[in-house]
A and B are shown apart, each in its own frame.
Chain A
Amino acid sequence: MASMLLNSMRTCPVIFEFSDVSVQTKSKKTLARPSVKNIVLVEGVRTPFLMSGTTYVSSFHWGLLHKTGIPKDAVDYIIYGTVIQEVKTSNVAREAALGAGFSDKIPAHTVTMACISSNQAMTSAVGMIAAGQCDAVVAGGVEFMSDVPIRHSRKMRKTMLSLNKAKTLGQRLGLIGSIRLAHLAPELPAVAEFSTAETMGHSADRLAAAFGVSRVEQDEFALRSHTLAKKAQDAGLLKDVISFKVPGRDIVSKDNGIRPSSMEQMAKLKPAFIKPHGTVTAANSSFLTDGASAVLIMSEEKALAMGYKPKAYLRDFVYVSQDPKDQLLLGPTYSTPKVLERAGLTMDDIDVFEFHEAFAGQIMANLKAMDSDWFAQTYMGRKSKVGTPPTEKFNLWGGSLSLGHPFGATGCRLVTTVAHRLQKEGGQYGLVAACAAGGQGHAMVIEAYPQ
């Protein structure tokens, strides 16, 4: 799947046209700085995000080769983010690049940083361009929850490895004889913190409780996400989605997790993690998703020289980290004020907000934390709160709750969505923020490219 995206990246039109730009860009100062290279987002695409198990997409490496818009050697480097790695393709970026017909002379590496893996891929690309080492980098992310590697149990692995080394038949038989039925039980990868052994949903439920987020608030937010996603999908706003053909099946061209329901329906669900009194349910959480995303990032000079019309500038970004137990999912709270400070902006300057929605409860908790002077002073060492994003600017085309959340691929979706929304809504600045396992977080300021 990843290679398919890279294909489309190579075949992307030189000038991306927007038919329905209705609002003019407000005239605010630009964030360009004399000493810093302008780095632009040229294009962003993604596969439809599919609920895990709905379509089998793992053997997705067909060699569909199109005439390319980009010369084979114009891309200097490829970086991919992924969370759950296949043992056979631990450097999935390289395999995807080769499978997509990129020149085998383009190096590629894979990064991992939980749910902000593709953010890390993008900022790594930004770093390479800023350092003057590259001019054009493809960054992306991919996740196949339908085909995660399932390991043998530790005891079984140990026996199997010893078997390799066993020299005599007696030794082998002895080892085989030591296998017990229990050893055959497989080990599934868990969405749990290594340091605390707590699953993310459990932590999200505790976080929601800590900030007094009610079940109703969570369900309402989830419903909003699905409703807005449906609207955006129907209006054809999700232009970053490209169709692809699953061998032997139909062409897939839409995210399939969008399912606006009703508050009554959602209220019927039982809590998924903390039973029986928890508030996080399957309906107000993001679901396991398959999908891939990619962006083409270039120095402004290079993009213009090659005749591209960039979509946006990628400006300041930060990574933050905090207590993985009780503040696991508060990344946006910590990263937002920090990145705004770096960029010299305030919340009021931001026109477009795209936050990663891991859980409705997590988003609500973050919004409450951002609105609390006490929290800012007690835990963040800040003088005052940063404030909350206005609803009318926040995740207007749906979010991870409704579109889906392929861990490694969400970051590129957020950035591309901000770029598209800035163009559509005529804003100047956009803010991306996300939380990630390990108690980490990320935020990035994006500036519209003058149209």
Chain B
Amino acid sequence: MSDFFFFFFYCSSHQARTHVSYELKDDVAVIRLNDPTSKVNTLSVQMQSELSEVMGEIWSNGAVKSAVLISSKPGCFIAGADINMIQACKTSEEVTHLSQEGQKMFEKIEKSPIPVVAAINGSCLGGGLEVGLPGAFDMMLTGRNIRADKAKKMGLVHQLVDPLGPGLKPAEERTIEYLEEVAVGLAKGIANKKVALTKEKGLMQKLQDTVMGLGPVKQKIYKTVSEKVQKQTKGLYPAPVKIIECIKTGVEQGREAGYLAEAENFGKLAVTPESKALIGLYQGQVICKKNRFGTPEKEVKKLAILGAGLMGAGIAQVSIDKGLNTILKDTAVEGISRGEDQVYKGLNTKVKKKALTSFERDAILSNLSAQIDYTGFDSADMVIEAVFEDINIKHKVLKEIEAIIPPHCIFASNTSALPIKDIAAASKRPEKVIGMHYFSPVDKMQLLEIITTDKTSKDTLASAVSVGLKQGKIIIVVGDGPGFYTTRCLAPMLAEAVRVLQEGTGPKKLDTLTTSFGFPVGAATLADEVGIDVAAHVAEDLGKAFGSRFGGGNVEVLKTMVENGFKGRKSGKGCFIYGKGKKEKSVNSDAEEILQKYKLSAPPSVSSDSDIQHRLVSRFVNEAVLCLQEGILTNPVEGDIGAVFGLGFPPCLGGPFRFVDSFGAEKLVSMMRRFEDVYGNQFTPCQLLLDHAKDPSKKFHK
């Protein structure tokens, strides 16, 4: 009874606590984390201080023999540090201080005089020096998610509790309750020594520990990991290197030194431009994963896709996988057979990675109906066409479809360059026509660019966004025009890439130059991935629309390659030669011969490695800024998100707009003027960029 009163007394005297509360269950203190202001718990200042306070009270209470730390939020223990908290810091010292406070709290919990059981339901920040060396590296460096069963194998957690189905309460609620019951039982068991936490190490484990403990072996591990990090980050991301440094310090010089190194480095990293860029992307992505356009009048439940090619099948895969009934239509049986194979393979890869069971795969596939006729289109809620990029074919298809589909059905075009208003010109109901530009491969690329014309209705837009979100996409909504936003930015860069190739830089060298700037895929490889034929098509179309500004490389280079069958990866040959089982792709010497034929001399004043990189990037960036100036883009956030998630603009730079902010508009403009002197109007900075160059206080991001 006295325990009860004691607890009651404490509760009433701490009304001010909002994030952390606790209650006594016999001699177990159950501490509940619940940030009332957010859907997830973060390690905010408030959370940390309240937790410290509560822990203090519990430790000073002799009646408490053990404690359970649990979140009241279904599916989230602690999502991580509070990004806003880090962002609010002005100096690295401030961040270091925050980090040290966090460390202190964790250390206190670790050294707790009574056993503390963390009952984790859902996402949880991981990590710790105690974990085996290689395992810890793997997890901390890639930020990879670890499934619960894997975490148990790695020794991160001691016991797994299965989620429950519905009972006398909603499943989520009961699962948390059950987790708490099990955790309380375990805490009691540990406190009265009925449950042993450490297992006798097996021979293999002992052997492994001994080997890992050897100096040369450790050095070798650091070296291997460092090399791997260098190769993957090209030195553009400072964090992984610092993490290795911290671990090394911790292992070699002891925990205290390790913690200090961690806090200091964390502080330094938090104020780097890379950190700002990545936080910006995170926040932008959160914005682009919301439907700002309201709930559509009619939910899309049945989707029809025209064209079972790479794009069509890809769209089908991400749709059926979310439970949308999907028709995949092509004109020939061979076409749908290939398309169905692609969908199957895509899902089966998930089965192989154990993200799906084979049963779930089959159940998902049952949502797909592949066919060569228009059966079922009369009850479709949305049609997405992914047929050949030819305005006449698009018109023909649109007319055929409109004769069958119900009045509410939306017609979306997955075109990468044709203006939607041109396509809608053939429509009887242009308010139902919209552009949904997916990126290849659809199941991997997160971006969806939605294009509206001035006739597109609000509800059509809301519907398209809702379908895109269901498909798991990050969405930007842009205005209509040739190439919209993404293709329009990419085209000048690719035109420049072709010129660079013509000037004698080989495809491999071009790839290295672009990847070392931070692009995940090199420019030559990107052209192969997009398809040389598509690139030629787009270059020609946009060239017509925008004139000489989109010039640079000779379109004939691409056309000749296509004539020779070098359409890129899909045809096995492009700038490179692709084949099964080949790890190292080799340069296509026939393509090099074509380049030889169109050879240009490289002007030495603008052909250094750095100049080539900036020629490519500045054309991209200038076009992006011009899109904002012209109102194709409504804001710089969507511009950055579209460039990074759709085109692979270097994430460490945060997108073209953040790049202008951090690189400096003035510096960029003067660089472009230098290129302009050699190449002409392709490098003329747009007005908005000039405005920013003139007034350094102007920034795209606050």
Contact = CB atoms under 8 A, between A and B. Distances in A.
Given A210-B174, A277-B186, A326 B168 contact: no
A164 interface: no
A86 to B, nearest CB: 26
Contacts of A378: 166, 170
Interface stretch (A173-181, A192-200, A419-427): A192-200
A194 B178 contact: no
A326 B164 CA distance: 7
Given A195-B359, A277-B182, A277-B185, A206 B159 contact: no
Interface string A361-381: 000010011001011001100
Contact of B162 (A194, A195, A274): A274
Most chain A CB within a 10 A radius of its CB, from B165, B169, B178, B359: B165
A238 B587 CA distance: 83
B194 to A, nearest CB: 11
Contact of A365 (B161, B167, B178, B357): B167
Given A206-B165, A210-B166, A277-B185, A326 B359 contact: no
A55 B166 CA distance: 41
Nearest to A372: B168
B171 interface: yes
A382 to B, nearest CB: 15
B165 A210 contact: yes
B16 to A, nearest CB: 34
Contacts of A210: 164-167, 171, 174, 178
A327 interface: yes
Contacts of B167: 207, 209-212, 365, 368-369, 375
B162 A326 contact: no
Contacts of B363: 195
A326 B159 CA distance: 21
Interface in B155-188: 159, 161-162, 164-171, 174, 178, 182, 185-186
A421 B483 CA distance: 80
Interface in A269-286: 274, 276-277
A73 interface: no
Interface in A162-211: 194-197, 202, 206-207, 209-211
A311 to B, nearest CB: 38
Given A195-B359, A209-B178, A277-B186, A323 B168 contact: no
A255 B168 CA distance: 36
Given A209-B178, A210-B174, A277-B182, A323 B165 contact: yes
A325 interface: yes
Given A211-B168, A375-B168, A276 B359 contact: no
A196 B164 contact: no
A276 B197 CA distance: 13
A139 B161 CA distance: 43
Nearest to B175: A210
Q: What is the size category of the interface that chain B forms with chain A?
A: 10 to 19
A438 B159 CA distance: 28
A327 B169 CA distance: 14
Nearest to A211: B167
A212 B168 contact: yes
Nearest to A375: B168
Contacts of A207: 165, 167
Contacts of A195: 359, 363
Nearest to A323: B165
Contacts of A372: 168
Nearest to A368: B168
Contact of B166 (A196, A197, A274, A375): A375
Interface string B242-274: 000000000000000000000000000000000
Contacts, number: 57
Contacts of A277: 159, 161, 182, 185-186
A276 B159 CA distance: 8
Contacts of B186: 277
Given A210-B174, A277-B186, A326-B171, A196 B165 contact: no
Nearest to A194: B359
Contacts of A196: 357, 359
Contacts of B359: 194-197
A327 B359 CA distance: 18
B182 A374 contact: no
Nearest to A371: B168
A126 to B, nearest CB: 33
B193 to A, nearest CB: 15
B170 to A, nearest CB: 8
A194 B164 CA distance: 19
Most chain A CB within a 10 A radius of its CB, from B161, B164, B182, B357: B164
A326 B165 contact: yes
B147 to A, nearest CB: 15
A194 B174 CA distance: 26
A325 B357 contact: no
A206 B163 CA distance: 8
A122 B185 CA distance: 47
A202 B174 CA distance: 17
A379 B186 CA distance: 32
A378 B363 CA distance: 25
Contacts of A368: 167-168
A56 B27 CA distance: 53
B165 A327 contact: yes
B164 A209 contact: yes
Contacts of B165: 206-207, 210, 323, 325-327
A365 B174 CA distance: 14
A210 B169 CA distance: 8
Nearest to A274: B162
A327 B162 contact: no
B162 A374 contact: no
Given A210-B174, A276-B159, A277-B185, A379 B166 contact: yes
A391 to B, nearest CB: 20
Contacts of A369: 167-168
A52 to B, nearest CB: 27
Contacts of B185: 277
Interface string A312-328: 00000000000101110
Contacts of A209: 164, 167, 178
A206 B162 CA distance: 7
A445 B182 CA distance: 40
Interface string B568-594: 000000000000000000000000000
Nearest to A378: B166
Nearest to A213: B167
Interface in B104-162: 159, 161-162
A333 B168 CA distance: 13
Nearest to A327: B165
A325 to B, nearest CB: 7
B166 A327 contact: yes
Most chain B CB within a 10 A radius of its CB, from A209, A276, A374, A375: A209
Contacts of A374: 168-169
Interface string B92-106: 000000000000000
A48 to B, nearest CB: 36
A133 B358 CA distance: 42
A375 B182 CA distance: 24
Most chain A CB within a 10 A radius of its CB, from B166, B178, B363: B166
Interface string A322-356: 01011100000000000000000000000000000
Given A206-B164, A209-B167, 11 more contacts: A195-B363, A210-B166, A210-B171, A210-B174, A211-B167, A277-B182, A325-B165, A326-B166, A327-B165, A365-B167, A369-B168
Task: Sort A-B residue pairs by CB-CB distance and give the 9 closest, nearest first.
Answer: A326-B165, A210-B167, A210-B164, A211-B167, A277-B182, A195-B359, A209-B178, A372-B168, A210-B165
Interface of B: 159, 161-162, 164-171, 174, 178, 182, 185-186, 357, 359, 363
13 contacts: A194-B359, A197-B357, A210-B165, A211-B167, A211-B168, A277-B159, A277-B161, A323-B165, A326-B164, A365-B167, A369-B168, A375-B168, A378-B170
